[in-house]
Amino acid sequence: MFRQPKIEYKTPAQMLVMRDAGLVLADALDRTVAAAEVGVTTAYLNEVFESVLQEAGATSNFLGYHGFPASICTSVNEEVVHGIPGDYVLADGDILSVDGGAVVSGWHSDSARTTIVGAARPEDVRLSRVTEDAMWHGIAALASARHVGDVGAAIDDYVASVPGAELGILEDYVGHGIGTQMHQAPDVLNYRSSNRGPRVREGLCLAIEPMLVQGGLGTRVLEDDWTVVTTDGGRASQWEHSVAVHDGGIWVLSAPDGGASQLEPLGVRPVLPAE
């Protein structure tokens, strides 16, 4: 019979090194998003991100990954994920998702966020807000989850509960385990499935990353073999954090406060791993 990929479980000490990587990444994303202004190229944003990693003595886990040519993904408007930074000049009203990662002492972090450049359209604000909130509902569910699939169920249930125009959850791109590599087992679905996934146990570290779109769920990959776009031109948003499960609870490794500001209103108090 086919065997499931082996999951790498981390010690609290290893999680703390992943937190170091996550804090570098949070700073890099903060500065990159702050630099995302009308008239700036996405290549410049990549330079900003790389400079922060260099200052901190960290390295990028995106650059060179299966040949990827940059340290961040910059996905604009109908681009869902894996957009390559380049000569594109950000315009007023663009919705931009920035996805990046950092490595410290061999341990990886991965996080993404969406921002709107210049004057924002209300429907884009809503798209980003619902995507971010869906991510936090998934993270909150992890705190008491029995199986990894409970995360996707929570994300799906939250998105379905939001009033107004329906937003679609992409199913072709999912979250993942993270640790000594950026992408590891298990897959973390962003939707409810009959496949409940592996049991949640101490030492599990996951990158939880819902991707929502305003239109249909159809996507295609551009000729650069990386950039994923919606086939109907609907705009997209991606939010992501790396999260650790340990004997005291959960901690969001790529959030400076461990996710407290977002999780406590959802009834979850994050706890820092203790060596």
Give yes or no for a cis peptide into 186 (omega within 30° of 0).
Answer: yes
Is 108 marked as binding a ligand?
no
Query: Is 209 annotated as ligand-binding?
Result: yes
> Strand, helix or coil at 257?
coil
Nearest to 207 by CA among 115, 134, 109: 109
Q: Per the annotation, does 110 bind a ligand?
A: yes
Query: Is 66 flagged in the annotation as binding?
Result: no
φ and ψ at 44, to 5 degrees?
A: -65, -40
Residues placed in the known binding site for substrate: 82, 183
Annotated binding site for a divalent metal cation: 99, 110, 176, 209, 240
Annotated binding site: 82, 99, 110, 176, 183, 209, 240
